[in-house]
Chain A
Amino acid sequence: MHCTMDDLLALRAGEASVWARRHVEDCAVCRAELDGLYQRVAQLKALPALRPPRDRWSVVRDAARVVRVRRRRTWSAWSLAAAAALAGVLLVPRFGSRGTLHAELSQAKEQSATLEDQLQRYDVDGRVLSGRTAARVAELEDRIAAIDGDLAGRSGVKAQAQDAELVKLWQQRVDLMRQLVNARAIRTRYVGL
Protein backbone atom coordinates (compact mmCIF):
# COMPACT_ATOMS: atom_id res chain seq x y z
CA MET A 1 0.00 0.00 0.00
CA HIS A 2 1.28 3.46 -0.98
CA CYS A 3 0.61 6.89 0.43
CA THR A 4 -2.55 8.61 -0.72
CA MET A 5 -2.54 12.22 -1.90
CA ASP A 6 -3.91 13.15 1.52
CA ASP A 7 -0.88 11.44 3.08
CA LEU A 8 1.52 13.24 0.73
CA LEU A 9 -0.05 16.62 1.47
CA ALA A 10 0.08 15.87 5.18
CA LEU A 11 3.76 14.95 4.83
CA ARG A 12 4.40 18.24 3.09
CA ALA A 13 2.59 20.10 5.86
CA GLY A 14 4.46 18.18 8.57
CA GLU A 15 1.21 16.69 9.83
CA ALA A 16 1.52 13.12 8.52
CA SER A 17 0.80 9.98 10.49
CA VAL A 18 3.65 7.88 11.90
CA TRP A 19 2.86 5.22 9.32
CA ALA A 20 3.14 7.67 6.40
CA ARG A 21 6.41 9.13 7.70
CA ARG A 22 7.97 5.68 8.03
CA HIS A 23 6.56 4.44 4.75
CA VAL A 24 7.93 7.29 2.68
CA GLU A 25 11.40 6.61 4.06
CA ASP A 26 11.28 3.06 2.77
CA CYS A 27 9.24 3.46 -0.43
CA ALA A 28 11.00 4.93 -3.45
CA VAL A 29 7.71 5.30 -5.34
CA CYS A 30 6.14 7.42 -2.62
CA ARG A 31 9.32 9.46 -2.20
CA ALA A 32 9.18 10.23 -5.91
CA GLU A 33 5.53 11.20 -5.58
CA LEU A 34 6.35 13.50 -2.70
CA ASP A 35 9.16 15.08 -4.72
CA GLY A 36 6.72 15.52 -7.61
CA LEU A 37 4.29 17.29 -5.28
CA TYR A 38 6.99 19.67 -4.07
CA GLN A 39 7.99 20.37 -7.66
CA ARG A 40 4.41 21.09 -8.75
CA VAL A 41 3.95 23.57 -5.95
CA ALA A 42 7.29 25.21 -6.72
CA GLN A 43 6.28 25.48 -10.38
CA LEU A 44 2.93 27.00 -9.46
CA LYS A 45 4.70 29.62 -7.37
CA ALA A 46 7.02 30.33 -10.28
CA LEU A 47 4.25 30.92 -12.82
CA PRO A 48 4.59 34.36 -14.40
CA ALA A 49 2.45 37.17 -13.07
CA LEU A 50 -0.56 37.87 -15.24
CA ARG A 51 -1.05 41.56 -15.83
CA PRO A 52 -4.38 43.34 -16.33
CA PRO A 53 -5.03 43.93 -20.03
CA ARG A 54 -6.60 47.35 -19.45
CA ASP A 55 -5.93 50.22 -17.11
CA ARG A 56 -8.75 50.49 -14.58
CA TRP A 57 -7.26 53.33 -12.58
CA SER A 58 -9.48 56.00 -14.16
CA VAL A 59 -12.62 54.19 -13.00
CA VAL A 60 -11.23 53.69 -9.49
CA ARG A 61 -10.05 57.31 -9.34
CA ASP A 62 -13.49 58.59 -10.37
CA ALA A 63 -15.09 56.42 -7.71
CA ALA A 64 -12.62 57.78 -5.16
CA ARG A 65 -13.73 61.29 -6.07
CA VAL A 66 -17.36 60.30 -5.60
CA VAL A 67 -16.55 58.88 -2.16
CA ARG A 68 -14.71 62.07 -1.22
CA VAL A 69 -17.52 64.32 -2.46
CA ARG A 70 -20.12 62.18 -0.73
CA ARG A 71 -18.28 62.48 2.57
CA ARG A 72 -18.10 66.22 2.08
CA ARG A 73 -21.77 66.34 1.13
CA THR A 74 -22.76 64.40 4.21
CA TRP A 75 -21.04 67.05 6.28
CA SER A 76 -22.57 69.82 4.15
CA ALA A 77 -26.04 68.31 4.45
CA TRP A 78 -25.84 68.50 8.23
CA SER A 79 -24.71 72.11 8.02
CA LEU A 80 -27.44 72.86 5.51
CA ALA A 81 -30.14 71.29 7.64
CA ALA A 82 -29.05 73.39 10.58
CA ALA A 83 -28.90 76.50 8.41
CA ALA A 84 -32.35 75.84 6.94
CA ALA A 85 -33.83 75.42 10.39
CA LEU A 86 -32.26 78.69 11.48
CA ALA A 87 -33.44 80.46 8.32
CA GLY A 88 -36.97 79.19 8.94
CA VAL A 89 -36.95 80.68 12.42
CA LEU A 90 -35.52 84.01 11.26
CA LEU A 91 -37.24 84.53 7.93
CA VAL A 92 -40.78 83.29 8.02
CA PRO A 93 -42.18 85.59 10.68
CA ARG A 94 -40.39 88.66 9.30
CA PHE A 95 -41.09 88.28 5.62
CA GLY A 96 -44.50 86.74 5.60
CA SER A 97 -45.62 89.32 3.05
CA ARG A 98 -43.32 87.90 0.39
CA GLY A 99 -45.66 84.99 -0.08
CA THR A 100 -44.64 84.08 -3.61
CA LEU A 101 -40.95 83.84 -2.85
CA HIS A 102 -41.61 81.77 0.21
CA ALA A 103 -43.94 79.44 -1.67
CA GLU A 104 -41.26 78.92 -4.32
CA LEU A 105 -38.66 78.37 -1.66
CA SER A 106 -40.82 75.76 0.09
CA GLN A 107 -41.55 74.03 -3.17
CA ALA A 108 -37.87 73.86 -4.12
CA LYS A 109 -36.96 72.48 -0.70
CA GLU A 110 -39.68 69.83 -0.93
CA GLN A 111 -38.54 68.83 -4.40
CA SER A 112 -34.96 68.66 -3.20
CA ALA A 113 -35.93 66.41 -0.28
CA THR A 114 -37.91 64.12 -2.59
CA LEU A 115 -34.94 63.81 -4.92
CA GLU A 116 -32.62 63.06 -1.98
CA ASP A 117 -34.98 60.21 -1.06
CA GLN A 118 -34.82 58.88 -4.61
CA LEU A 119 -31.04 58.97 -4.52
CA GLN A 120 -31.02 56.73 -1.47
CA ARG A 121 -32.47 53.97 -3.65
CA TYR A 122 -29.39 53.85 -5.82
CA ASP A 123 -26.46 52.46 -3.94
CA VAL A 124 -23.70 52.79 -6.47
CA ASP A 125 -20.55 52.64 -4.40
CA GLY A 126 -19.44 49.26 -5.64
CA ARG A 127 -21.00 49.33 -9.06
CA VAL A 128 -19.13 51.86 -11.08
CA LEU A 129 -18.81 50.36 -14.51
CA SER A 130 -18.25 53.41 -16.63
CA GLY A 131 -15.58 55.95 -15.96
CA ARG A 132 -17.51 58.58 -17.88
CA THR A 133 -20.65 58.08 -15.80
CA ALA A 134 -18.67 58.13 -12.57
CA ALA A 135 -17.02 61.37 -13.64
CA ARG A 136 -20.42 62.88 -14.49
CA VAL A 137 -21.79 61.88 -11.08
CA ALA A 138 -18.71 63.30 -9.36
CA GLU A 139 -19.09 66.58 -11.25
CA LEU A 140 -22.77 66.89 -10.34
CA GLU A 141 -22.07 66.10 -6.70
CA ASP A 142 -19.30 68.69 -6.69
CA ARG A 143 -21.68 71.34 -8.02
CA ILE A 144 -24.37 70.39 -5.52
CA ALA A 145 -21.81 70.55 -2.71
CA ALA A 146 -20.82 74.04 -3.89
CA ILE A 147 -24.45 75.18 -3.81
CA ASP A 148 -24.90 73.59 -0.38
CA GLY A 149 -21.92 75.55 0.84
CA ASP A 150 -23.39 78.74 -0.60
CA LEU A 151 -26.78 78.06 0.97
CA ALA A 152 -25.21 77.29 4.32
CA GLY A 153 -23.51 80.69 4.22
CA ARG A 154 -26.79 82.54 3.63
CA SER A 155 -28.67 81.43 6.70
CA GLY A 156 -29.03 84.95 8.06
CA VAL A 157 -30.33 86.76 4.94
CA LYS A 158 -32.67 89.64 5.48
CA ALA A 159 -33.12 91.62 2.26
CA GLN A 160 -35.68 90.66 -0.37
CA ALA A 161 -33.04 90.52 -3.10
CA GLN A 162 -31.08 88.00 -1.10
CA ASP A 163 -34.25 86.03 -0.49
CA ALA A 164 -34.79 85.80 -4.23
CA GLU A 165 -31.24 84.56 -4.64
CA LEU A 166 -31.95 81.89 -2.07
CA VAL A 167 -34.89 80.65 -4.14
CA LYS A 168 -32.70 80.65 -7.23
CA LEU A 169 -30.02 78.60 -5.49
CA TRP A 170 -32.51 76.05 -4.25
CA GLN A 171 -33.97 75.75 -7.74
CA GLN A 172 -30.49 75.21 -9.16
CA ARG A 173 -29.94 72.55 -6.55
CA VAL A 174 -33.18 70.82 -7.57
CA ASP A 175 -32.12 70.89 -11.21
CA LEU A 176 -28.71 69.34 -10.41
CA MET A 177 -30.32 66.76 -8.14
CA ARG A 178 -32.61 65.72 -11.01
CA GLN A 179 -29.59 65.24 -13.26
CA LEU A 180 -27.86 63.24 -10.54
CA VAL A 181 -30.87 60.99 -10.03
CA ASN A 182 -31.07 60.42 -13.79
CA ALA A 183 -27.36 59.57 -14.01
CA ARG A 184 -27.64 57.05 -11.21
CA ALA A 185 -30.90 55.59 -12.45
CA ILE A 186 -29.42 55.01 -15.90
CA ARG A 187 -26.35 53.35 -14.40
CA THR A 188 -28.49 51.19 -12.14
CA ARG A 189 -30.55 50.01 -15.08
CA TYR A 190 -27.30 49.36 -16.97
CA VAL A 191 -25.98 46.97 -14.33
CA GLY A 192 -29.37 45.29 -14.18
CA LEU A 193 -30.45 46.02 -10.63
Chain B
Amino acid sequence: MTMIPERSFAAPMVDSANAPFWQAASEGVLLIKRCNACGEAHWYPRPFCPHCGSENTEWVTASGSGTVYSFTVTRKAGPVPYVLAYVTLDEGVTMLTNLVDAEIEALHIGQRVNVVFRQAEGGGAVPVFTPVAP
Protein backbone atom coordinates (compact mmCIF):
# COMPACT_ATOMS: atom_id res chain seq x y z
CA MET B 1 0.00 0.00 0.00
CA THR B 2 1.23 3.48 -0.88
CA MET B 3 0.34 6.51 1.21
CA ILE B 4 -0.48 9.73 -0.66
CA PRO B 5 2.70 11.84 -0.35
CA GLU B 6 2.31 15.10 1.55
CA ARG B 7 2.72 18.19 -0.63
CA SER B 8 2.99 21.89 0.14
CA PHE B 9 0.21 24.39 -0.47
CA ALA B 10 0.70 27.98 -1.64
CA ALA B 11 -0.74 30.80 0.47
CA PRO B 12 -4.49 31.31 -0.15
CA MET B 13 -5.43 34.05 -2.61
CA VAL B 14 -7.48 36.25 -0.33
CA ASP B 15 -9.78 38.94 -1.74
CA SER B 16 -12.58 41.10 -0.32
CA ALA B 17 -15.26 38.55 -1.25
CA ASN B 18 -13.56 35.42 0.11
CA ALA B 19 -11.70 36.81 3.17
CA PRO B 20 -14.17 35.35 5.75
CA PHE B 21 -13.67 31.89 4.24
CA TRP B 22 -9.89 31.97 4.55
CA GLN B 23 -10.00 33.52 8.02
CA ALA B 24 -12.23 30.65 9.17
CA ALA B 25 -10.02 28.10 7.42
CA SER B 26 -7.00 29.39 9.33
CA GLU B 27 -9.01 28.61 12.48
CA GLY B 28 -9.88 25.10 11.28
CA VAL B 29 -13.46 25.88 10.21
CA LEU B 30 -14.96 25.12 6.78
CA LEU B 31 -17.47 27.77 5.69
CA ILE B 32 -19.92 27.56 2.80
CA LYS B 33 -22.45 30.08 1.55
CA ARG B 34 -26.19 29.58 1.97
CA CYS B 35 -28.95 31.71 0.45
CA ASN B 36 -31.56 33.07 2.85
CA ALA B 37 -34.01 33.60 0.00
CA CYS B 38 -34.10 30.12 -1.59
CA GLY B 39 -32.40 28.16 1.18
CA GLU B 40 -29.86 26.57 -1.17
CA ALA B 41 -26.17 26.25 -0.42
CA HIS B 42 -23.69 27.01 -3.18
CA TRP B 43 -20.01 26.43 -3.98
CA TYR B 44 -17.64 28.12 -4.62
CA PRO B 45 -18.71 31.03 -2.41
CA ARG B 46 -20.04 34.14 -4.12
CA PRO B 47 -21.55 37.47 -2.90
CA PHE B 48 -24.88 36.37 -4.46
CA CYS B 49 -26.77 33.12 -4.91
CA PRO B 50 -26.03 31.51 -8.32
CA HIS B 51 -29.23 29.48 -8.00
CA CYS B 52 -31.79 32.28 -7.48
CA GLY B 53 -29.83 35.52 -7.82
CA SER B 54 -30.52 36.84 -4.34
CA GLU B 55 -27.81 38.85 -2.61
CA ASN B 56 -29.15 37.71 0.76
CA THR B 57 -26.51 35.07 1.39
CA GLU B 58 -24.70 34.16 4.58
CA TRP B 59 -21.65 32.18 5.60
CA VAL B 60 -22.52 29.01 7.49
CA THR B 61 -20.26 26.42 9.06
CA ALA B 62 -20.22 23.14 7.17
CA SER B 63 -20.19 19.86 9.07
CA GLY B 64 -16.94 18.99 7.32
CA SER B 65 -18.24 15.55 6.42
CA GLY B 66 -18.79 14.40 2.88
CA THR B 67 -18.55 11.70 0.24
CA VAL B 68 -16.04 11.28 -2.59
CA TYR B 69 -17.83 12.06 -5.89
CA SER B 70 -14.77 11.45 -8.07
CA PHE B 71 -11.00 11.41 -7.70
CA THR B 72 -7.83 10.91 -9.69
CA VAL B 73 -4.26 10.13 -8.68
CA THR B 74 -2.26 12.65 -10.70
CA ARG B 75 1.14 11.10 -11.27
CA LYS B 76 2.76 13.26 -13.94
CA ALA B 77 1.82 16.90 -13.34
CA GLY B 78 3.80 17.78 -10.23
CA PRO B 79 6.84 16.88 -8.15
CA VAL B 80 4.91 14.24 -6.21
CA PRO B 81 1.70 12.35 -6.97
CA TYR B 82 -1.40 13.97 -5.51
CA VAL B 83 -5.10 13.19 -5.44
CA LEU B 84 -7.50 15.68 -6.99
CA ALA B 85 -11.09 14.98 -5.99
CA TYR B 86 -14.63 16.24 -5.88
CA VAL B 87 -16.20 15.81 -2.44
CA THR B 88 -19.93 16.25 -1.96
CA LEU B 89 -20.46 17.80 1.45
CA ASP B 90 -23.35 16.61 3.57
CA GLU B 91 -24.82 20.09 3.00
CA GLY B 92 -25.25 19.13 -0.67
CA VAL B 93 -22.57 21.10 -2.50
CA THR B 94 -19.69 19.45 -4.33
CA MET B 95 -16.27 21.05 -4.05
CA LEU B 96 -12.94 20.50 -5.76
CA THR B 97 -10.30 19.46 -3.23
CA ASN B 98 -7.45 17.07 -2.49
CA LEU B 99 -7.56 13.80 -0.60
CA VAL B 100 -4.72 13.35 1.89
CA ASP B 101 -3.37 10.96 4.50
CA ALA B 102 -4.77 7.85 2.85
CA GLU B 103 -3.61 4.73 1.02
CA ILE B 104 -3.82 5.32 -2.72
CA GLU B 105 -4.99 1.79 -3.54
CA ALA B 106 -7.91 2.03 -1.10
CA LEU B 107 -9.40 5.25 -2.50
CA HIS B 108 -12.86 4.86 -3.99
CA ILE B 109 -15.90 6.82 -5.10
CA GLY B 110 -18.54 6.87 -2.37
CA GLN B 111 -15.91 6.87 0.38
CA ARG B 112 -16.83 8.92 3.46
CA VAL B 113 -14.36 11.69 4.23
CA ASN B 114 -13.84 14.47 6.77
CA VAL B 115 -12.25 17.86 6.33
CA VAL B 116 -8.76 18.48 7.69
CA PHE B 117 -6.62 21.55 7.22
CA ARG B 118 -3.09 21.84 5.85
CA GLN B 119 -0.92 24.83 6.76
CA ALA B 120 -0.11 26.89 3.66
CA GLU B 121 3.27 28.41 2.90
CA GLY B 122 3.25 32.02 4.04
CA GLY B 123 0.34 31.59 6.40
CA GLY B 124 -3.26 30.50 6.26
CA ALA B 125 -4.67 27.00 5.87
CA VAL B 126 -6.27 25.00 3.07
CA PRO B 127 -9.18 22.58 3.59
CA VAL B 128 -8.58 19.06 2.27
CA PHE B 129 -10.24 15.73 3.05
CA THR B 130 -9.20 12.42 4.51
CA PRO B 131 -11.10 9.12 4.62
CA VAL B 132 -13.09 8.32 7.75
CA ALA B 133 -11.48 5.42 9.56
CA PRO B 134 -13.47 2.26 8.79
Q: Is chain B found bound to chain A in the same assembly?
A: no
Q: Which residues of B contact A (CB under 8 A)?
A: none
